[in-house]
Amino acid sequence: MTPRLNAKIAVTSLIVVAIAFAATVGLVRWVLSREYRAPERSDQAQVTPRTQALADEAAAKAKADREKPYQEETYRKFPMVGSRVAVWVLAQLHLLFAAFVLAVPLFALIIEFIGWLNRDERYDELAHEFTKLLSVSFSLTATFGAFLLFMLVLLYPKFMNYLMHVFSPTFAPYVGLFFFEAFFLYTYYYGWGKFSQVTHLLLGLGLNVVGTAIMLIANSWLTFMTTPAGVSESGAVISTWAAVHNYTWMPINIHRIIANVAFGGSVAAAYAAFKFLNAKTDEERAHYDWMGYIGNFVAICAFLPLPFAGYWLASEIYAYSQTLGLTMMGGAFSWLFIIQAVLIGNLFLGANYYLWLGMGRVQASERFQGYIKFLLILIALCFAVWATPRSIIATVSETRAMGGGAHPQLGYFGVMSAKNTAVNLLILTTYVSFLLYRRSGRTPTVSWAKLGNALQFAIAFLAGATVLFLGIYGYFVEAKVRIGLSVPQVSSVLFAMIAITAIDVLMYRNAKSLGEVNWGRIHPVSQYVLIFLAVTFTWLMGLMGYVRSGLRQHWHVYGVMRDTSVDAFTPTLGFATRVVSVTVLLFFLLIGFVFWLASLSDHKPGHAKEHA
């Protein structure tokens, strides 16, 4: 066919289609105009039963719309993942960034202060580099915070209404403090080198004070949800201060400050590791090795007392409600603490391994390396005890053979006496690792060095023996006594750490150097260990955040406001760990972005010195 013929056919087709369409429309209109009308109503214009029904329907709808009563929504649904998961992920991301933003200024200030005291610009440079990560993180914290608030108001309006009823006096100070935090943060960061050092340190102090105050206010809201106080049985406010100062408020405050520092230190160390692994020169490697070491040191120093703060928090939960305490440790969440044991065991292993690898950069550290295998054995044993569950997943025949859910021998390691003993010995062992690292490359010159060593050994041994003895003794006494034994266990370890450190500081004053610390000369695996520690810390925060919040089970506010949503059930641990993992991956994706942005403003180490 020719193109001309094709065009003709097309035009003709169009005309035929148009005529057919017009004919159809005409036919429909004709049929409608012939609609049946009742003879007695035929004089009433065009009213038919159908048009009347349509009109009535429209009028009824308009009337119903006008009279529709206002009803407050209790819940709204979030598509796909549901409201709970949406809020969960957002809250966790907000919390992780907030923890980072609160922690970094704390140790940056301490490092800057040390630099100022010792007139050492390296510390000042290091503190500045830590704070470089802050400004973008601060924006992300605020963004996630606002997002979380909108989602809570949108998805849980009734619950939010209640929280506003109880805590409305705290909102204005919260927002005000937020402005102050922005002021201090940006003047602290951008004012580096522009103010006198004392003024700059005071700005840093202001940033920390305001940041901590913000956290304290937010903590009152969330702790109230688990251990409400200051309200009547029906939930009416009696005292806002009592609602703020509820059972778990102060334990959470302390626990969070310490945990934030541990987490912030580990993430800052991961940043240093990232920079170390991408370093092009020995100078850069030396700088970032040192930065990673300091970050990790901060993390581990905060991590060691963390179990004690956790113990206080748990005891306050028990004091508020034994049911709540038992739900946490013996009920739905008991297996969560086995997962926690795996995480904490890995943190101890990783932290010790990093210290042992770090000995490689110190000359004349070989004399201590023989002890590492013993420390490793002790850590592995404690790890195994801590991760042993009380009851074991078994078939019916296996359970019969064991004579119950608990293994006849291993079951002994599943109870609190064993767990407390294991964690205290882990802390003590890690402390010994750090002590060995600290001594590498140095030898004391004081006349009483032998006595000092003997005294330190005796204290460490006695503390370990006390912990072990009380752990075993706990099996033979009633619950009332056993619960109290953890206090002397903890106290003996704390005493040992403080006493040994005091002796060590005095003993190694004016110590003789046996060799230099070659910063940068460390096996690259150590840097991956630092990143692994940061991931583990983050995951641990996600998991413990879940138990703290999930503990309420089917309550928004425990015993006061019940959760009647479709998400009122407590999910399986498998589901919870998947959500935690998604959050952790999202966090690292975003913190990677922060690292990348921080790298854009990079300058060579020593830059500050050159321009000072």
Residue numbers of the site for another protein (CB under 8 A)?
233, 274, 277-278, 318, 321-323, 326-327, 330-332, 335-336, 338-339, 342-343, 389, 393, 475, 477-480, 482-483, 528, 531-532, 535-536, 539, 553-555, 558-560, 563, 568-574, 576-578, 580-581, 584-585, 588
**DSSP 8-class letter at 19:** H
Cβ closest to another protein, residue 306 vs residue 584: 584
Question: Three-state DSSP class for 15?
Answer: helix
CB of 401 to another protein, least distance (A): 19
User: Helix 249-277 to helix 306-320 angle, to the nearest 10 degrees?
Assistant: 150
Distance CA 92, CA 148 (A): 10
Cβ closest to another protein, residue 153 vs residue 332: 332
In the 3-class helix/strand/coil scheme, how is 507-555 assigned residue by residue? HCCCCEECCCECCCCCCCHHHHHHHHHHHHHHHHHHHHHHHHHHCCCCE
CB of 31 to another protein, least distance (A): 59
Q: Name the amino acid, one letter, at 106.
A: L
The position carrying tokens 């998805």 is 155
User: Helix 322-329 to helix 306-320 angle, to the nearest 10 degrees?
Assistant: 130
CB of 330 to another protein, least distance (A): 7
CB of 126 to another protein, least distance (A): 22
Distance CA 193, CA 244 (A): 40
Cβ closest to another protein, residue 138 vs residue 588: 588
User: Helix 249-277 to helix 573-600 angle, to the nearest 10 degrees?
Assistant: 50
Interior angle at CA 280, CA 277 and CA 282, nearest 5 = 90
Cβ closest to another protein, residue 292 vs residue 441: 292
Cβ closest to another protein, residue 298 vs residue 561: 561
CB of 270 to another protein, least distance (A): 9
CB of 469 to another protein, least distance (A): 17
Cβ closest to another protein, residue 150 vs residue 475: 475
CB of 181 to another protein, least distance (A): 29
Cβ closest to another protein, residue 425 vs residue 584: 584
**C-alpha distance from residue 540 to each of 88, 102, 342, 346 (Å):** 15, 18, 10, 11
Backbone angles phi, psi at 193, to 5 degrees: 85, -5
Cβ closest to another protein, residue 63 vs residue 578: 578
CB of 188 to another protein, least distance (A): 29
Among 222, 254, 229, 392, CA closest to 319: 229
CB of 107 to another protein, least distance (A): 23
Cβ closest to another protein, residue 72 vs residue 233: 233
> What DSSP assignment string belongs to 127-141?
HHHHHTTHHHHHHHH
* Length of the chain, in residues: 612
Q: Which residues contact 347 (CB under 8 A, 6 or more apart)?
A: 303, 533, 536, 537, 540
